[in-house]
C-alpha cells in the first residue's frame, strides 16, 4: 500500500522502515534533509515539501503525520488540508490531545477529508516488536488503511484496533499513558525499598529477573527495568529528574471533569513534578514550622545529611 509519512524522528523513521520491510511504498518528508536521505537509503521516495509529497501519491491519498503534538501537528494538518483533495485521509499518530483530534476531524470533514487519530505506543522498540495502536475515526478510511495497521502492529490481528469515532484513539492512548505513570511509580518505589534494606544486600537485577517469570507483577515495563538494572545497577550518573510529556496531566484533568477518582495516577504525576525540585520550598517551610512549634533543629542547606 502507498502512504505518505511526514516526520522522520525516532518514531517516524522506525515506522517508515517497518512499513518498507512489509512491502509498502512510502513517500516521506521532514525538515531535516539528512533524515529524508536516510529514509531514501532504506527504499522510500523522498520529497522536499508537503506539496511535493502529495503530488507523488495516488488518490485517494493517505498521509501519516508523525510530528510533535501541539502547534507542529496543527500547522502540518492545516498545510496538508490546503494541498490534499476530497476523499484523502490524514492520520495523526502523535500524542495529540483528544479534544484537538475531535476538532480537527470536524475541520477536515468540512473540506471533504478524512481524519484518523492513532494513539501509538511502542517507542524505540516498535521497529522490532511492533506498535500498539488505538485507532479513532470513521470506519471506511480505517478499513482502507488496514494493511498499514497490520504491518505496524505486533501481528495482523494483535495489538491494534478501531476503538471508536474521531478522538477516541488519542483518548484511549491518553488513559494508557496515565496507567503507565502509575505502574512506573509503583515499580520505582518498590525497588527503592529493596535498595534501602542494606543489611540484606539485595541484588535488584536478580530480583527483577525473578519477578519477570511467573510473578503477577511481570510486565514489559519490568523487563525494561531489569535491563536498566543490569546495565547500571546503582543508576550512577542518572539524575533523579523525571519529565512528563502531557498525557498524564490530561488524564488527571479528564478525571476531574468526569468526577472520577484516580489517586494513583494523580500522585504519580505529582511525584514527577517533585523530582524536578532541587530544594522544594514546601519542605523548607515544614522544617521552619517544626522549629517554630517544637524548637526542632533546622538543618543548613550545606550541612551533610546523616
Cβ–Cβ < 8 Å for 167, 105: yes
Spell out the residues 6+ positions from residue 290 whose beta carbon is closer than 8 angstroms to its own: 296
What is the bridge-based pairing of β-strands 25-29 and 2-6? parallel
Active site residue 173: yes
Active site residue 42: no
SS3 (DSSP) at 220: helix
Q: Residue 155 is placed in which grid cell?
A: 501481528
HSE-up (13 A, CA, CB side) for residue 244: 26
Sheet of 45-46, strand order: 45-46, 25-29, 2-6, 62-65, 89-92, 114-121, 132-136, 160-164
User: CA distances (Å), 23 to each of 40, 165, 220, in order?
Assistant: 15, 29, 28
Question: DSSP class of residue 260?
Answer: -
- Cell 511481570 maps to which residue? 218
Q: How far apart are CA 1 and CA 7, in angstroms?
A: 19
Q: How far apart are CA 128 and CA 224, in angstroms?
A: 15
Q: How far apart are CA 125 and CA 141, in angstroms?
A: 27
Nearest to 28 by CA among 10, 57, 53: 53
Which of these is catalytic: 173, 189, 231, 301? 173
Q: How far apart are CA 39 and CA 184, in angstroms?
A: 34
Q: Residue 249 is placed in which grid cell?
A: 496531566
Which of these is catalytic: 74, 180, 209, 254? 180
Compute φ and ψ for 134, nearest 5 degrees: -110, 115
What residues are annotated to the active site? 173, 180
Amino acid at each position: 500500500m502507498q502512504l505518505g509519512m511526514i516526520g522522520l524522528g525516532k518514531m517516524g523513521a522506525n515506522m517508515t522502515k517497518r512499513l518498507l520491510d512489509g512491502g509498502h511504498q512510502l513517500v516521506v518528508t521532514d525538515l531535516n534533509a539528512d533524515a529524508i536521505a536516510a529514509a531514501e537509503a532504506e527504499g522510500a521516495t523522498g520529497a522536499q515539501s508537503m506539496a511535493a509529497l502529495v503530488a507523488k501519491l495516488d488518490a485517494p491519498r493517505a498521509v501519516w503525520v508523525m510530528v510533535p503534538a501541539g502547534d507542529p501537528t496543527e500547522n502540518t494538518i492545516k498545510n496538508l488540508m490546503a494541498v490534499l483533495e476530497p476523499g484523502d485521509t490524514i492520520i495523526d499518530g502523535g500524542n495529540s490531545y483528544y479534544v484537538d483530534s475531535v476538532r480537527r476531524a470536524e475541520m477536515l470533514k468540512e473540506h471533504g477529508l478524512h481524519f484518523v487519530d492513532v494513539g501509538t505506543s511502542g517507542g524505540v522498540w516498535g521497529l522490532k516488536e511492533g506498535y500498539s495502536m488505538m485507532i479513532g475515526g470513521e470506519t471506511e478510511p480505517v478499513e482502507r488503511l488496514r494493511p498499514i495497521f497490520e504491518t505496524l502492529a505486533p501481528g495482523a490481528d494483535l495489538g491494534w484496533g478501531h476503538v471508536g469515532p474521531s478522538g477516541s484513539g488519542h483518548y484511549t492512548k491518553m488513559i494508557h499513558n496515565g496507567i503507565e505513570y502509575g505502574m512506573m511509580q509503583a515499580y520505582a518505589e518498590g525497588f527503592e525499598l529493596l535498595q534501602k534494606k542494606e543489611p540484606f544486600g539485595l541484588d535488584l537485577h536478580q530480583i527483577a529477573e525473578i519477578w519477570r517469570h511467573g510473578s503477577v507483577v511481570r510486565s514489559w515495563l519490568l523487563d525494561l527495568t531489569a535491563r536498566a538494572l543490569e546495565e547500571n545497577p546503582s543508576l550512577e550518573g542518572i539524575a533523579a529528574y523525571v519529565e512528563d510529556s502531557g498525557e498524564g496531566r490530561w488524564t488527571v484533568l479528564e478525571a476531574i471533569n468526569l468526577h472520577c477518582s484516580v489517586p494513583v495516577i494523580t500522585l504519580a504525576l505529582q511525584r514527577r513534578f517533585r523530582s524536578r525540585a532541587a530544594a522544594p520550598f514546601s519542605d523548607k517551610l515544614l522544617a521552619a514550622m517544626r522549629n517554630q512549634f517544637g524548637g526542632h533543629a533546622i538543618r543548613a542547606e550545606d550541612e551533610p545529611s546523616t
